[in-house]
């Protein structure tokens, strides 16, 4: 209580910093406390050390942190930057809490760009932690961490420099040396140094697929922050990556002499124009020879020693091109990625070491079918581990690499269950830490919701926690410590023994709840709670406001969205007949309900019943305990063939009988019992007592299950055993769900379609019956609904950005299906991948889910060996940038990832083929990757942004924002494009466009091709405020609301002298955000009555208006500009407007806004996204 340990290490500047500024530190810690400075025994100086030494230190640190209780407490690292990264602060708390678990009540050293000011050290204090700048560099090869204080510089170690240069093709430049600096000079110099290091880390991270560690170990944040879109959107990263790497020289490329393909006059014009002008546009219908022009350009440019990026909107064009280049013997000069048709592109697996010298030419990352399936499986399980068990991304990556090299599907159900138990125990450790540290730190961190929520980071339903605990507890001693500390923290008098049984666990839960009604009230304040308790609702509302749980939750548990949505669904596995209590309330059952119902005022009336049940349960505890021990055997049983079973010794079979009692799934358990009984009877000398014991075990289990069900109904929890995803096919789980009417009601629409779809396939894709209203729907409608829903879910599960969702349109998808049918290939024979040319990412997730569940999809995979988008991360080695003069790419999602790495690529020429099939913002970004760009496009084509576009006409007006978005590619190209070549002349059919004729000599037509979006007049824009987080129909962005309230407050402040001049309107996306803004504003106004009076005296009253729902179209459509809409509705806007919008829509609104008002846009998009808006490039 009275002593604080400041932990640093020998030989570092940390101690000198503390020595030189004890007054500052004491003023923060409080005068009454003693400060003890301790140094770890590790000597961190890097002078004279080899990278191997440093690697050893890193491993010692890791070991000390994770396993070795005797090792000194270690440094946890995380990234924190106060002004820009509010949302990272939970990492600080977590790191601090982890430190406290290890018995440090002192200092947790953080890594980051921390700006120290005299007054602000306190801002960096979280509980027992004060953060000092420390840098962490992670070496890609060894997966070890080099940790130094700000005063030491491992990057200067020559061996490491060379290693980094060899790995990444870049050499860190311009890092200021810090040797021998005084403590007072450390901070500013360290900041510079860290910026350089951080920019290096950020750049390399985005290309490598492995992270130079910047963020907390053992944290699911890793997953989200490694996603390129997330990295790109990260404000600090964005600010630091500003200039391209120096041009890399292509080595050992001797272009063969190639003769160009014959071209007609128009094609020659386009070819010449492309070589003469910085950007040129070549248009023409299908078959008009656009790809031929592109091919000739590539041949010519490669022969001239230029680097070319060929980005195709469809893989058909790319396949033809690849085949041509291959025939010309150019294949060794090409790096291609994207989906390929069968048989065109050869397979070149990566070498085990991935060393560019020994690796065969990397034409394309396709594998033969078996290898592809293995890799898919390996990646699938590695990904599952990340999502389900909270593994750090690096660990999952290591596992994946290990599995890939082992060439085997990595995890048996047995291993999975072991991993699961280990991770679950670790989560409990974290939960306990959060709770205990929170208590020590005072409000608002002793929020019990933290504890419960920490458990639910696991995607399994909370109501299954007790059962999973009984499974996991016997394996972990430290659970005792957790229970003890938790009980001490909660002042529970009687500390139960380690709950290795159901009985003592419930005793613990009962004590927990009955002593802490206040805790229950906090639980009830969770905003997702349905207002069931009228009496409590008023106080709950105030509690919610006071604790601002919403904000806390959104900050603390952002990573929940990266969990597979399929696993997040809340299931009730028992039918309503078995648990009559469920009929009364159909809300989600969670442990919150249990704690609520077991709380003191409600608990007493049920106490006798529960005690009776618990006592009888205790009788079965020993039996279950014994069965638990043979659990691994049971898991193995599923892998034995029947023949294998016959050869087992009878003792093993006896153990298996006992193991049946802890089978995870109810149905598996019953069927396993019957199978074993059959086997036992079939054994030649089967002792009869085995069969008897089996039936007794079955009876015991049934009795046990009845008791648990009784208890569940009393406690309002469903303790049904959870089911392992790896063991059961997806569709089978759906079938189980659909067996109960309640299950049907709780399922989202797309799950129902999934099952209906399976039935439809059986019925020959005819009419199917909707599971809801028995309305017949066509197979096409059903397919579209299913695909759309599944895609959205899959996108959420693998962190695909909103823009990717916009790209997906079921209508287009179905059109492609129809097109394939016309090509006389039936739907069943075609891989989903074959007709999703622009959506490699859905294909990946779609495929993984169906690979196991549907034979026709498995056949598809066999007939079409395809690469999927998920493998791109592993397939973009830095070496490709230097080694290949020509890079071929296709698919919107893959091209998008190319755009996300603008500093990585440098080309002399960028050729966009079928540009109409590439989303316009991606196409615009691609044109900026090279010194010159050539765009080949058809004028009448499906555009992926908004479904099927209307044909472009010279006199077309802006009929809809959809069309305007489609046109933006041309809006970008028109002002800078000196020449347009149209290959096809004289369109005759009425549905086609008039030819836009121009050539090298004729001037650009005076009538513009399309009206350009009105650019924003930046003199009218007061400022753009960028906040973190998202804002959608179901959530409130508290940070954003607070900014908006503050902005209005500031505007009112300016009008104190002349209140009549105050005229402000706020337009937001939905009513809940509106209410949140009003709450924050009223709070501010209460503090400053003089400013509040401005609002009363204003000539026009302040209005905060949520846009009508008709305006807020679903996220996969482009939003009408709110400014236009409001102008047309009311005719006028206030003199100053504040807009609160979701990210993507804001930039479109800004592109189109021509309102002569002072406009404040408060939004949550990353600032560099604006670069993609043509009208804002120079703004």
Q: Is the pLDDT of residue 1110 over 60?
A: no
Say which residue, 304 or 568, is predicted with more confidence: 304
pLDDT one-digit tens code per residue, 139-186? 333 322 233 333 333 333 334 344 434 443 444 333 333 222 333 333
Q: Is the pLDDT of residue 280 over 70?
A: yes
Q: Of 336-345, 418-427, 741-750, 989-998, which gets the smallest average pLDDT?
A: 989-998
Which pLDDT belongs to residue 283?
75
What one-character DSSP code corresponds to residue 332?
Answer: G
Cβ atoms of residues 752 and 771 within 8 Å: yes
Best mean pLDDT range from 341-350, 352-361, 585-594, 1031-1040: 1031-1040
As a whole number of angstroms, the distance between CA 73 and CA 65 comes to: 7
Q: Is the pLDDT of residue 1155 over 70?
A: no
Q: Where are the alpha helices (DSSP H) in 359-412?
A: 369-389, 393-406
Own/partner long-range contacts of 677-684 (Cβ < 8 Å, ≥24 apart): 679/642, 679/645, 679/646, 679/653, 680/653, 682/646, 683/646, 683/650, 683/653
As a whole number of angstroms, the distance between CA 1097 and CA 309 comes to: 62
Dmax (CA) of the chain: 102
What one-character DSSP code corresponds to residue 756?
Answer: H
Please state the rounded mean pLDDT for residues 397-419. 40
Output helix, strand, coil percentages for the chain, rounded to the nearest 5.
55, 10, 40
Backbone angles phi, psi at 934, to 5 degrees: -125, 125
Pick one of 3.30.1560, 3.40.50, 1.10.10, 3.30.1490 as the CATH number of 1021-1176.
3.40.50
Q: Of 87-101, 733-747, 767-781, 993-1007, which gets the smallest average pLDDT?
A: 993-1007
Q: Is the pLDDT of residue 913 over 60?
A: yes
pLDDT one-digit tens code per residue, 695-716? 554 554 454 444 444 433 433 3
CA 30 to chain centroid, in Å, comes to: 41
* CATH classification code of 265-365+884-948+977-982: 3.40.50.300
Cβ atoms of residues 917 and 286 within 8 Å: no
Best mean pLDDT range from 446-450, 745-749, 940-944, 1058-1062: 1058-1062
What one-character DSSP code corresponds to residue 970?
Answer: H
Which pLDDT belongs to residue 1058?
79
CA angle, residues 834, 838, 843, in degrees to nearest 5 = 55
pTM: 0.26
Please state the rounded mean pLDDT for residues 869-878. 26
Helix (H, G, I), strand (E, B) or coil at 1052: helix
Best mean pLDDT range from 919-923, 1091-1095, 1169-1173: 1091-1095
Q: What distances in angstroms separate CA 601 from CA 490, 536, 606, 924, 1033, one per listed residue?
A: 18, 13, 10, 64, 37
Q: What percent of the chain has pLDDT over 70?
A: 9
The two tokens of residue 614 are 């618990």
Which pLDDT belongs to residue 173?
38
As a whole number of angstroms, the distance between CA 1082 and CA 523 comes to: 27
Torsion, Cα 797 800 803 809, to 10 degrees, reads -60
Q: Is the pLDDT of residue 375 over 60?
A: no
Q: Is the pLDDT of residue 1102 over 60?
A: yes
Helix (H, G, I), strand (E, B) or coil at 279: strand
Please state the rounded mean pLDDT for residues 517-535. 36
Cβ atoms of residues 992 and 951 within 8 Å: yes
Q: What distances in angstroms separate CA 139 from CA 51, 223, 232, 688, one per listed residue?
A: 9, 18, 22, 62
As a whole number of angstroms, the distance between CA 887 and CA 909 comes to: 11
Which pLDDT belongs to residue 273?
80
CA 868 to chain centroid, in Å, comes to: 18
Own/partner long-range contacts of 18-26 (Cβ < 8 Å, ≥24 apart): 19/183, 20/183, 20/184, 21/183, 24/118, 24/121, 25/121, 25/130
Please state the rounded mean pLDDT for residues 392-398. 39
pLDDT band at 1044 (very low <50, low <70, confident <90, very high): confident
Q: Where are the alpha helices (DSSP H) in 573-665?
A: 591-598, 600-629, 631-637, 642-646, 650-659
Q: Of 687-696, 839-848, 984-993, which gets the smallest average pLDDT?
A: 984-993
Q: Is the pLDDT of residue 1077 over 70?
A: yes
Cβ atoms of residues 89 and 80 within 8 Å: yes
pLDDT one-digit tens code per residue, 93-138? 444 444 444 433 322 233 322 222 222 333 333 322 222 333 333 3
Which pLDDT belongs to residue 294?
84
Q: What percent of the chain has pLDDT over 90?
A: 0
Q: Is the pLDDT of residue 340 over 80?
A: no
As a whole number of angstroms, the distance between CA 787 and CA 806 comes to: 14
What one-character DSSP code corresponds to residue 1067?
Answer: E
Bond prior to 131 in cis (omega within 30° of 0): no
pLDDT band at 292 (very low <50, low <70, confident <90, very high): confident
pLDDT one-digit tens code per residue, 893-909? 455 555 544 444 556 78
Please state the rounded mean pLDDT for residues 446-462. 34
pLDDT one-digit tens code per residue, 646-699? 444 455 444 444 433 333 333 334 444 454 455 445 444 444 544 554 455 455
Which pLDDT belongs to residue 1139?
52
Radius of gyration of the chain (CA): 32
């Amino acid at each position: 209580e009275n002593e604080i340990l400041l932990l640093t290490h020998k030989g570092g500047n940390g101690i000198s910093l503390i020595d030189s500024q004890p007054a500052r530190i004491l003023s923060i810690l409080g005068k009454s406390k003693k400060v003890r400075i301790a140094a770890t025994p590790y000597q961190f100086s890097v002078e004279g050390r080899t990278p191997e030494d440093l690697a050893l230190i890193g491993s010692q640190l890791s070991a000390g942190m994770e396993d070795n209780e005797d090792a000194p407490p270690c440094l946890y690292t995380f990234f924190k930057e106060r002004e820009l990264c509010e949302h990272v602060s939970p990492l600080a708390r977590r790191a601090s809490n982890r430190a406290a678990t290890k018995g440090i009540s002192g200092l947790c050293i953080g890594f980051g760009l921390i700006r120290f000011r005299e007054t602000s050290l306190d801002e960096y204090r979280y509980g027992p932690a004060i953060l000092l700048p420390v840098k962490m560099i992670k070496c890609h090869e060894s997966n070890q961490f080099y940790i130094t204080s700000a005063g030491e510089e491992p990057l200067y170690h020559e061996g490491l420099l060379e290693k980094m240069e060899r790995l990444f093709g870049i050499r860190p430049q311009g890092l200021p040396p810090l040797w021998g600096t005084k403590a007072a000079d450390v901070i500013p110099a360290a900041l510079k140094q860290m910026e350089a290091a951080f920019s290096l880390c950020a750049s390399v991270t985005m290309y490598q697929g492995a992270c130079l560690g910047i963020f907390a170990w053992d944290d699911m944040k890793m997953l989200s922050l490694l996603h390129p879109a997330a990295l790109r959107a990260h404000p600090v990263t964005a600010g630091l990556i500003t200039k391209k790497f120096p041009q890399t020289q292509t080595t050992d490329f001797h272009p063969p002499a190639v003769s160009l393909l014959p071209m007609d006059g128009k094609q020659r014009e386009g070819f010449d124009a492309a070589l003469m002008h910085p950007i040129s546009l070549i248009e023409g219908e299908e078959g008009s020879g656009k790809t031929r022009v592109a091919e000739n350009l590539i041949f010519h440019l490669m022969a001239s020693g230029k680097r070319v990026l060929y980005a195709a909107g469809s893989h058909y064009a790319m396949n033809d091109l690849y085949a041509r280049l291959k025939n010309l013997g150019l294949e060794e000069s090409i790096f291609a990625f994207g989906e390929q048709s069968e048989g065109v592109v050869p397979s070149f697996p990566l070498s085990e070491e991935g060393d560019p010298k020994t690796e065969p030419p990397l034409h394309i990352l396709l594998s033969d079918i078996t290898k592809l399936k293995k890799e898919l499986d390996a990646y699938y399980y590695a990904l599952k581990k990340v999502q389900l068990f909270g593994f750090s991304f690096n660990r999952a990556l290591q596992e994946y690499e290990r599995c890939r090299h082992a060439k085997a599907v990595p995890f048996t159900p047995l291993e999975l269950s072991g991993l699961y138990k280990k991770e679950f125990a670790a989560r409990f450790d974290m939960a306990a830490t959060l709770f205990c540290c929170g208590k020590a730190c005072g409000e608002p961190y002793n929020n019990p919701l933290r504890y419960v929520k920490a458990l639910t980071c696991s995607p399994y339903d909370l109501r299954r926690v007790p059962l999973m605990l009984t499974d996991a507890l016997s394996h972990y001693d430290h659970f005792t410590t957790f229970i003890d500390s938790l009980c001490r923290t909660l002042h529970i008098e009687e500390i139960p023994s380690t709950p290795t049984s159901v009985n003592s666990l419930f005793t613990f839960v009962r004590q927990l709840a009955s002593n802490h009604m206040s805790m229950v009230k906090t639980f009830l304040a969770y905003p997702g709670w349905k207002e069931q308790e009228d009496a409590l609702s008023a106080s709950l509302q105030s509690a919610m406001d006071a604790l601002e749980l919403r904000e806390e939750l959104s900050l603390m548990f952002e990573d929940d969205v990266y969990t597979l949505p399929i696993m997040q669904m809340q299931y009730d596995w028992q039918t309503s007949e078995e648990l009559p209590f469920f009929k009364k309330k159909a809300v989600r059952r969670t442990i919150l309900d249990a704690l609520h119902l077991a709380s003191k005022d409600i608990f007493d009336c049920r106490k006798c019943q529960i005690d009776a049940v618990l006592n009888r349960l205790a009788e079965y505890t020993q039996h279950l305990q014994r069965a638990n021990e043979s659990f691994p055997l049971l898991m193995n049983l599923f892998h034995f063939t029947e023949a294998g079973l016959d050869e087992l010794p009878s003792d093993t079979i006896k153990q298996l009988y006992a193991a049946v009692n802890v089978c995870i799934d109810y149905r598996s358990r019953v069927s396993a019992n019957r199978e074993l009984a059959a086997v036992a009877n079939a054994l030649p000398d089967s002792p009869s007592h085995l069969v008897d014991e089996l039936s007794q075990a079955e009876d015991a289990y049934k009795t046990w299950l009845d008791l648990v069900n009784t208890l569940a109904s009393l406690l309002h929890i469903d303790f049904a055993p959870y089911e392992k995803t790896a063991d059961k096919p997806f569709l089978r789980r759906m079938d189980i769900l659909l067996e109960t009417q309640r299950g049907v009601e709780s399922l989202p629409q797309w799950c129902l379609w999934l099952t209906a779809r399976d039935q439809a396939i059986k019925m020959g894709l005819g009419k199917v019956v909707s599971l809801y209203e028995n309305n017949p729907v066509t197979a096409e409608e059903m397919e579209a609904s299913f695909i759309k829903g599944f895609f959205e879910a899959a996108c959420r599960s693998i962190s695909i950005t909103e823009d990717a969702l916009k790209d997906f349109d079921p209508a287009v998808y179905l059109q492609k299906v129809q097109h394939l049918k016309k090509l006389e290939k039936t739907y069943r024979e075609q891989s989903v991948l074959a007709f999703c040319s622009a959506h490699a990412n859905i294909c990946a997730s779609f495929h993984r889910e169906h690979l196991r569940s549907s034979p026709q999809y498995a056949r598809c995979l066999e007939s079409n060996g395809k690469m999927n988008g998920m493998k791109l991360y592993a397939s973009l080695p830095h070496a490709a940038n230097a080694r290949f003069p020509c890079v071929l790419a296709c698919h919107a999602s893959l091209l998008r990832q190319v755009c996300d790495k603008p500093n990585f690529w440098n080309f002399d020429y960028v050729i966009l083929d079928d540009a109409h099939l590439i989303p316009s913002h991606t196409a615009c970004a691609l044109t900026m990757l090279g010194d010159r760009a050539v765009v080949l496009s058809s004028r009448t084509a499906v555009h992926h942004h908004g479904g099927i576009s209307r044909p472009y006409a010279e006199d077309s007006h802006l009929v809809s924002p959809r069309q305007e978005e489609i046109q933006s590619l041309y809006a970008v190209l028109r002002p800078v494009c000196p020449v347009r070549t149209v290959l096809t002349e004289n369109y005759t059919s009425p549905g086609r466009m008039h030819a836009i004729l121009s050539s090298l000599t004729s001037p650009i037509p005076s009538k513009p091709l399309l009206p350009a979006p009105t650019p924003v007049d930046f003199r009218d824009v007061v400022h753009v405020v960028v906040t973190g987080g998202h804002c959608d129909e179901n959530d409130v962005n508290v940070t954003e609301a607070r900014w908006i309230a503050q902005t209005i407050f500031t505007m009112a402040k300016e009008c104190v002298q002349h209140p009549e001049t105050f005229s402000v309107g706020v337009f937001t996306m939905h009513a809940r955000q509106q209410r949140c803004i009003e709450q924050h504003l009223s709070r501010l106004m209460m503090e400053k009555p003089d400013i509040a009076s401005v609002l009363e005296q204003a000539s026009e009253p302040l209005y905060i208006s949520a846009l009508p729902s008709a305006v807020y179209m679903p996220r996969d459509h482009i939003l009408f500009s709110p400014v236009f809409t409001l102008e047309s509705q009311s005719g006028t806007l206030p003199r100053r407007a504040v807009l609160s919008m979701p990210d993507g829509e804001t930039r479109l609104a800004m592109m189109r806004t021509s309102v002569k008002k002072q406009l404040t846009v408060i939004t949550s998009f990353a600032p560099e996204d604006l670069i993609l808006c043509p009208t804002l490039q120079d703004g």
